[in-house]
Each structure stands twice: as structure tokens, then as C-alpha cells.
Amino acid sequence: MIGGVFLASLSVAALAVVLVGAVVRPFGKPEAVFAIPAAALVVATGAIPLDDVREEAARLGPVVGFLAAVLVLARLCDDEGLFRVCGAWMARRARREPRRLLGAVFAFAALITAALSLDATVVLLTPVVFATARRMGARAGPHVYAAGHLANSASLLLPVSNLTNLLAYSAAGLSFTRFAALMALPWLAAIAVEYAVLRRHFAADLAAPTATRDQQQEPVALPLFALITVAATLIGFAVASACGIDPAWAAAAGATVLGIRALARRATTPRVLLRAADLPFLAFVLALGIVVRAVLDHGLGDVLGALLPDGSTLPALLAIAAVAALLANLINNLPAVLALLPPAAAGGPGPVLAVLIGVNIGPNLTYAGSLATLLWRRIAQRHGYEVRLGEFTRLGLLTVPGALLAATTALWVALRTLGS
């Protein structure tokens, strides 16, 4: 009994160290610096048996491989000029009108998040948004917050849009196209709520006149090869899923095609591509999975199983999404989804997708809700924009409840219409 209590306490302490290290990142150290020793500790002390470690590594291995391929693909798309084209199109669409720029940012952020993952929106699109707003002389706030919020809220559509989606995708037992069909309406509902709230909240900024400055800019060539490769990769995801092949192979194929082209043109190097894969973050994901598994095996799994309601009725789905959102803000959305998927999966695809809505939309409420939000805040500060806690929290309180309600209700409608 004492041993069980000790191991449970040790597992919880290890998870706390991992989360604090990921959120604070003392001395700028990667998340893996804290996660790997914590995982080694729970393994060495017997908090998680070696068989369970191997099982968890086998479960997360394809997810990690997929993530690496998507990160490389996004980096290569940026090198090809895809995001510069997005900036040029946003500026042209805006016609020096901040409201029109907000609409353009929403459109591109939603599409890029869905197709290339929230990391591409945070790391690659957000700097483009800053540059476009600055060139127009518009206030950056509405557009920067749009990119940050949609990196979370607009990541509902495809399994590739978010690491949490990849985990839920495997747990839900759905095909790629089935997943997208069920999540299309929730995705649109969440985006609509975000747009309505941000447009109202930043009404004064959007009504402010832009500085009169020359809007002429160098024409940017359309990176047709990159666009075709991304489109083919997305089609490959669906085809691979239908054939019972892991979509990671389609992602790897897309990254390989662009990578070979870039290497042949001497536009990149193997070292740059390896850095784009972000090996420390991939190690962090594996280590975090092992630590969370140890915590689940020592009591948290039973607690969450008792806490989540059964069934796919609208009240049950709303409760599941609310619990998932709360847990994401308490311990970050990645460990939250790892903890909630086992009990949710017992109820079928509906509860799993409700968990996904909670852990993807909920992080817009607090800085620590997702690693993407933390990274977005650092990027904003590097561009001279101070993300104030009061405004961030107020905007989260205005968007998160409404987006959760709208998206979960839309999921319930989709499940009743299309079936689970």
C-alpha cells in the first residue's frame, strides 16, 4: 500500500516537473530536458512497467513520425515562399481596411492550421501577419490574436491539424475522411464564434484609420510546386487511411518530395531539415506520454473514468468538452488528451471528438493551456507586441464558452446526421 502511494505521488510529481519545465522553460532549455529525466525516473522506480513503456512507445511512435514529417513539410513550404504569398494576398484582399485584413487573416489561419497544423500558423504565419499589419499601418492586436486563437480553435478539422487530433484519431477508430466529415461543422462553428467575438472586442482598433503609406510591393510568385505537393499530401492522407496505411507515410512522402527538390536546388541542407523536424520536441512527446501513462495507472485513469459521463447525448458531450477544456487549462492540453482518451474511447467516437473540442478550444483561456499558445506569446513579444494577461483572459472568457457550446452542439448534429 505504501509502495503504491509512493509511486503515485512520484508519478504526479514527475508530471508536474515536466509541465512546469514546458511552460516556463528555464534558461530557454527545450521541453525534453525536463521530460526525459522524468520519464526515466518513473521507469527506473517501477512506476510504469517496461511492457507498458514499450506499449506506449508503439502507440505514440506513428504519431511522432507523422508530426516530424508535417513540421518538415511546413518548413519547406515556407522556404518555397508559400507564407510570403499568403501575406501578399492578405494585403491585397484588405485594401488598407483593417476589418478586411481580419477576415483575410481568419481565412488563411483557418486553412493553414487545418492543412499544415497549428505549428505552421504560430511559427510561420504569425510573423507574416505582423509584417502585413505593419505595412498597412494597421493596429496589430486584432490580427495577432486571430492567428493565436485560430491556431487552437481552427485545429479541429483534420487529424493532421494538431498533435491532439492525431492521438484522438487513433483512439476514435475513424477513417481520415470520416473524421473530417464529423468535425467540419464543429470547425466552422468555432471559427464563426471566434470571428464574431474578435470583431466586436477589437471594434475600436479595426475602425482606426491606417497610416497613409505606399502600398506597392514586389510581386510574389505563386509557389505552384509547393501547393501541388500539399494538395497531393492531403489527398494521400485520405487514400492511405482508406487503404489501412498509416497517414504518416503520406506525410513523409510529401516532405520527401519537397525536401529532395530543395536539396537538389541547394535551397536547404540535411542539417536544416533535421532541425525542422524538432527532435527535442518529438522526444518530449514520447517522454510525456510515458509519464502521463504512469499517472493514469496510479489512480487518475479511474478518477477520470468516473468523472466523464456516458453516451453521446448533447448534455453528455457538453459535459465531456467542458471537463476536457478545464483539464487542458490545468495541466496543458497534450497531457489532458492523453489522460482523457482511454475513458472517452470506451464510449465511441462521439465522446472522443468531444474531448478533442475541449482540449483544442479550451487553451485559448490561459497561457498554459497549450504549448502553441506559449510559443505564440513569445513570437508576439519578439515583434514588440506585449500580450497582456488581462486582455488575454478577457478575450478567452468571451470566446471559449461560446465556441465550446457551438462546436459541441455542431458535433452532436453531425453525429445524428452522419452517424458515428
Residue 404's nearest CA partner among 307, 320, 313 is 320
pLDDT confidence of residue 245: 84
The DSSP code for 137 is T
Q: Is the pLDDT of residue 189 over 60?
A: yes
| Helix ranges restricted to H, 202-298 | 203-207, 224-242, 248-264, 270-276, 279-295
Q: Is the pLDDT of residue 332 over 90?
A: no
- Quick one: pLDDT band at residue 70, thresholds 50, 70, 90? confident
- Quick one: pLDDT band at residue 8, thresholds 50, 70, 90? confident
Cβ neighbours of 204 (radius 10 Å): 10
Which position has the grid cell 488581462? Answer: 390
Average pLDDT over residues 74-78: 88
User: Domain span at residue 318?
Assistant: 1-418
Which position has the grid cell 496543458? Answer: 332
- Specify the number of domains making up the chain: 1
Q: Is the pLDDT of residue 120 over 90?
A: no
Residue 336's nearest CA partner among 114, 19, 73, 124 is 19
Cell numbers found for residue 183: 468535425
pLDDT confidence of residue 405: 98
What average pLDDT is seen over the chain?
Answer: 88
pLDDT confidence of residue 211: 66
- Cα dihedral sign, 9-12-15-21: negative
| Helix ranges restricted to H, 28-49 | 32-44
Q: Is the pLDDT of residue 3 over 70?
A: no
| Helix ranges restricted to H, 308-370 | 314-331, 333-345, 349-361
Amino acid at 90: M
User: CA–CA separation, 75 vs 123, rounded Å?
Assistant: 9
pLDDT confidence of residue 216: 54
pLDDT confidence of residue 218: 59
pLDDT tens-digit readout, 192-219: 999 999 999 999 999 987 765 545 555 6
pLDDT tens-digit readout, 11-34: 889 988 888 887 777 777 888 899
Average pLDDT over residues 218-247: 84
pLDDT confidence of residue 129: 92
Lowest pLDDT segment from 22-36, 52-66, 100-114, 175-189 = 22-36
| Residue bearing the bigger pLDDT, 347 or 299 | 347
| Residue bearing the bigger pLDDT, 204 or 135 | 204
- Cα torsion through 189, 190, 191, 196, rounded to 10: 90
| Residue bearing the bigger pLDDT, 137 or 410 | 410
Q: Is the pLDDT of residue 328 over 60?
A: yes
pLDDT tens-digit readout, 152-161: 999 999 998 9
- Quick one: pLDDT band at residue 41, thresholds 50, 70, 90? very high
Cβ neighbours of 418 (radius 10 Å): 12
pLDDT confidence of residue 217: 57
User: CA–CA separation, 336 vs 419, rounded Å?
Assistant: 26
User: CA–CA separation, 184 vs 226, rounded Å?
Assistant: 25
Amino acid at 414: A
- Cα torsion through 23, 395, 307, 156, rounded to 10: -80
pLDDT confidence of residue 330: 84
- What per-residue string of b and e applies to 305-316 under the rule 16 or more CB within 10 Å gives b? eeebbeebeeeb
- Quick one: pLDDT band at residue 1, thresholds 50, 70, 90? very low
pLDDT confidence of residue 214: 44
- Quick one: pLDDT band at residue 391, thresholds 50, 70, 90? very high
User: What phi and psi values does residue 268 have, to the nearest 5 degrees?
Assistant: -155, 180
pLDDT confidence of residue 356: 96
| Residue bearing the bigger pLDDT, 168 or 409 | 409
Average pLDDT over residues 108-119: 90
Q: How many Cα atoms occupy the beta-carbon half-sphere of 258 within 13 Å?
A: 31
Lowest pLDDT segment from 286-295, 297-306, 365-374 = 297-306
Residue 352's nearest CA partner among 314, 324, 315 is 324
